[in-house]
Copies of this chain bind each other. A is one copy, B any other.
Amino acid sequence: MTSPLRLGIAGLGTVGAGVVKIIRAEAELLAARAGRPVTISAVSARSRDKDRGVPLKDYAWEDDPVALAKRDDVDVFVELMGGSDGPAKAATEAALAAGKDVVTANKAMLAIHGQALAEQAEAADRVVRFEAAVAGGIPVVKSLTEGLAGNNMTRVMGVMNGTCNYILTRMENAGLPYAEVFEEANKLGYLEADPTLDVGGIDAGHKLALLASIAFGTKVNFGAMQLEGIERISIDDITRAGDMGYKVKLLGVAQMTGRGLEQRMSPCLVPATSALGQLENATNMVVLEGDQVGQIVLRGAGAGEGPTASAVMSDVMDIARGIRVSTFGRPADTLVEAQAANELQPAAYYLRMELQDKPGALAKIATLLGEHGISIDRMRQYNHEMSTAPVLIVTHKTTKDALTVALDGFSATGVVATPPVAIRIEEV
Contact = CB atoms under 8 A, between A and B. Distances in A.
A297 interface: yes
A86 interface: no
Contacts of A290: 310
B150 A139 contact: no
A214 to B, nearest CB: 10
Size bin of chain A's contact surface:
35 or more
Interface in A329-357: 329-331, 334
Interface stretch (A140-148, A241-249, A384-392): A140-148
Contact of A143 (B142, B309, B324): B142
Contact of A26 (B152, B310, B318): B152
B310 A292 contact: yes
Could you tell me the dominant secondary structure of chain A's interface residues? mixed
A26 to B, nearest CB: 7
A293 B137 contact: yes
A428 interface: no
Contacts of A18: 292
Nearest to A19: B150
A310 B142 contact: no
Interface stretch (A223-231, A298-306, A418-426): A298-306
A16 interface: no
A274 to B, nearest CB: 10
A151 to B, nearest CB: 6
16 contacts: A18-B292, A26-B152, A35-B330, A139-B143, A142-B143, A142-B147, A148-B314, A150-B312, A151-B310, A275-B275, A275-B299, A294-B300, A295-B301, A296-B298, A297-B300, A321-B325
Interface of A: 18, 22, 26, 29-30, 32-35, 131, 137-139, 142-143, 146-152, 217, 275, 278, 290-301, 304, 306-307, 309-314, 316-318, 321-326, 329-331, 334
